[in-house]
Amino acid sequence: QVQLVESGGGLVQAGGSLRLSCTTAGFTQYTFAVAWFRQTPEQEREGVSCLPASEATPYYLDSVKGRFTTSRDNANGTVYLDMNNLQPEDTGVYYCATNLVGGCPPIKITKWEFRFWGQGTQVTVSS
């Protein structure tokens, strides 16, 4: 079965950093695109980033460009989201997701394009 598990969330002050990890299982011998989403009670789940299976440049939500970086450990398939200069508006539950395809959606990253999800990890940024 396909399993994704997020970890690394926590409470940080504005300006701080966190590294989120997405551990994947069930497709370790193949590389697929992996996206990061976040969700709050006030906002629908929104796409934060998408890392293609290829060496193509990842996609990022405009509001996180220059602050967040997603990457992959090719040895074990772990996908990371490095978040720097965190702001209170970055608070939310962060999820990783895949649909077992190599490419990212061509227009925008939406939840409808992804079938397999982790359980989420809470990120809270205080002022």
Neighbouring residues of 106: CB distance < 8 A, sequence distance ≥ 6: none
The SS3 of residue 89 is helix
Number of H-type helices and E-type strands within the chain: 0, 11
pLDDT digits (tens, 9 = 90+) for 18-59: 999 999 876 666 789 999 999 998 999 999 999 999 888 999
- Supply the pLDDT for residue 55: 80
Please report the pLDDT score of residue 120 as a whole number: 97
Q: Which of 117, 94, 92, 113 is nearest to 104 (CA)?
A: 113
Q: What is the pLDDT of residue 27?
A: 66
